[in-house]
A and B are shown apart, each in its own frame.
Chain A
Amino acid sequence: MRTDIVDLAYLVSAVGFGLSLKWMTAVVTARRGILAGEISFAIAIVATLINPAITTTGWFLIAVALALGTMIGIPLGLRVPMTAMPERIALSHAFGALAAGLVGVAHYYLTYHSSGKFETVVLGVEVTLGCLVFTGSLMASGKLHEVLPQRPIVFPGQNFLNFSVLGVAAAIIIVLMFRPDTTWLVPVLVVLGLVFGVLLIIPIGGADMPTVIALLNSYAGLSAAALGFVLNNKLLIVAGALDGTSGLILALIMCRAMNRSFRNVLFGAFGQLDESVAESSEHGQVRSASTDEAAEIMKIARSVVIVPGYGMAVAQAQHKVRELADALEQEGVDVRYAIHPVAGRMPGHMNVLLAEANVPYDKLLDMEEINPEFPQVDVVLVLGANDVVNPAARHAKSSPIYGMPILNVDQAQCVMVVKRSMRAGFAGIENELFYNPKTLMIFGDAKAVVSELALEVSGQLSH
């Protein structure tokens, strides 16, 4: 009877999770989705706690642990700046995976006497995934926070080493399947998982982070689902499956937006291209403009499209961008934003940053929406984006980014590129957009340039 009530409560929670994601499909209902998620969570926790196996000491420990987690969770949730969102999300993947991994290990030691082969295998996979996502997410977070070098690190035999680690882990799981009492192998499995997580992220460069974070999200979900199989808990399976597919879809979208395969992202170490490719392209004439010239052109434009990239996030220029847009709108200019799917360091990164700066979300356009309109756009302002606007992706078959869908900014009447110097972009590829006769380069720091432009346009700078 009691288990029936618990199962019923879990069912309600599972439906709630489904609704939560359903409401996430539109901005107007999204916050209702969070509420549904929170209520479902509360129901699940209460249902779990009506368990007679919980001892008095257990109750005390649960209370302490929940309070401690809440105390740490609140500042982590509220005090994080939007620019630090990718590393914050990576960090929370690490926490979730740590929990899943530890529960798996504890469960193994408590039940290995009586568990069947299927449970042992799933538990082994679950522990490996949990540990892998834990260190992998910590590494990703470290790279994003620039505590660790963002550059991909590659060495000979890397893939061989990675697969060997994975192979040994698989072998251990098989041994455990037949000899579950060889419990000393479990810590070895944990260590292998942890090591593999590190190895997996070492060769990943900054521009591939969106895919990898989404993939880690997916793995975290899969480990929760695996735990559900072991504990025979359908709610965990549902939540894990939802999280797993969500991460997978995001990762696929990111891969498609870069015209690359999973295998290529994970084992390709993008950005390690040989210098000869980068150096060989024909240089044309580069035209540069000062901010007051650029401001004059923008003021007489009818339509301006701003293309933000990771450079805007690094310079924290989103608020200044909004000021510039306000000033232009005062002059009667129509200002919109073109967001490439892989701009920034995680899916949707630019949207969140611009929303923080109070840019209305209906001004943020996806690549598919804005691309057909570029020929009618007077001025495009490229801000800290590079490879996603490189026309070479359309025609230069030898280019490493050939075939990648790009924002066709070169079809606009005039393109302005804000850039520190003529250095090549992340992938080390020359951008032929810079040599286009329609292009004006504005050299300088993104934030400084944009705030000067805003002042020029609004006429607050005198000459």
Chain B
Amino acid sequence: MTANEIITSLFVFALAGFLGLEVIRKVPKLLHTPLMALTNALSAISLVGSLVILGENATTYSTILGFVAVVASTINVVGGFLITDKMLRMFRRAPARPATPPAEEVKS
């Protein structure tokens, strides 16, 4: 890896980090658990690395490690996306108010 490549990677890391800080700060507390499940699924993108290691089939040792890694990340991706979706489907707004409105003060 050349110094240039390292610098480029650091650039990407720094900018993505700032993007993350700005975007995630805006996620409401309400959605923090689904957010966690989602980012967890996204971080399983290391699957991309393990697929190559497993597919190259270079040594028995690396193939075994690659196989376990692919299984583990796939569990994470599939489970992570399903669970996030399951949670988000539960979030719903209040229906229109019932016929007898409560004597409630106007919310400031």
Complex: A233 Cα to B94 Cα, angstroms: 45
Given contact pairs A73-B75, A116-B1, A351-B29, A109 touches B59 in the complex (Cβ within 8 A): yes
A238 to B15, CA, bound (A): 9
Nearest chain-A residue to B35 (Cβ)?
A24
**Total contacting residues, chain A, CB less than 8 A:** 123
- Bound together, the chains give a CA A98 to CA B8 distance in angstroms of 27
Answer yes or no: A264 CB below 8 A from chain B CBs: no
The verdict on A65 contacting B46 (CB below 8 Å), with A110-B53, A242-B16, A245-B20 known, is no
Task: Determine whether the beta carbon of A217 is less than 8 Å from that of B36.
Answer: yes
Query: CA of A323 to CA of B66 in the docked complex: distance in angstroms?
Result: 50
Determine the main DSSP class of B at the interface with A: helix
Within 8 A of A (CB), among B51-71: 51-59, 61-63, 65-71
**How many B residues, CB 8 Å from partner?**
92
Q: Give the number of residue pairs across the A-B interface with Cβ within 8 Å.
A: 381
A237–B31 touching, CB < 8 Å: no
Give the residues in chain B near A55, CB-CB below 8 Å: 55-57
Cα A48 to Cα B101 in complex, Å, equals 58
Q: Say whether, besides A238-B12, A241-B17, A302-B102, A85 and B33 are in contact (CB < 8 Å).
A: yes
Question: Please, could you name 30 A-B residue pairs with CB atoms under 8 Å apart, sorted by A?
Answer: A25-B26, A25-B31, A26-B28, A34-B85, A51-B52, A53-B52, A55-B57, A58-B54, A61-B63, A69-B78, A73-B74, A78-B82, A89-B37, A89-B40, A92-B79, A95-B73, A96-B76, A100-B69, A103-B46, A106-B53, A224-B43, A233-B49, A236-B46, A241-B16, A246-B36, A250-B35, A347-B29, A358-B90, A361-B30, A361-B93
A residues within 8 Å of B by Cβ?
Answer: 13-14, 17-18, 20-22, 24-27, 30-31, 33-34, 37-38, 41, 44-45, 48-49, 51, 53-55, 57-59, 61-62, 64-66, 68-70, 72-74, 76-78, 80, 82, 85, 88-89, 92-93, 95-96, 98-100, 102-103, 105-107, 109-110, 115-116, 118-119, 213-214, 217, 220-221, 223-225, 227-229, 231-247, 249-250, 253, 302-303, 329-330, 332-334, 339, 341, 346-349, 351-352, 355-356, 358, 360-364, 366, 373, 376
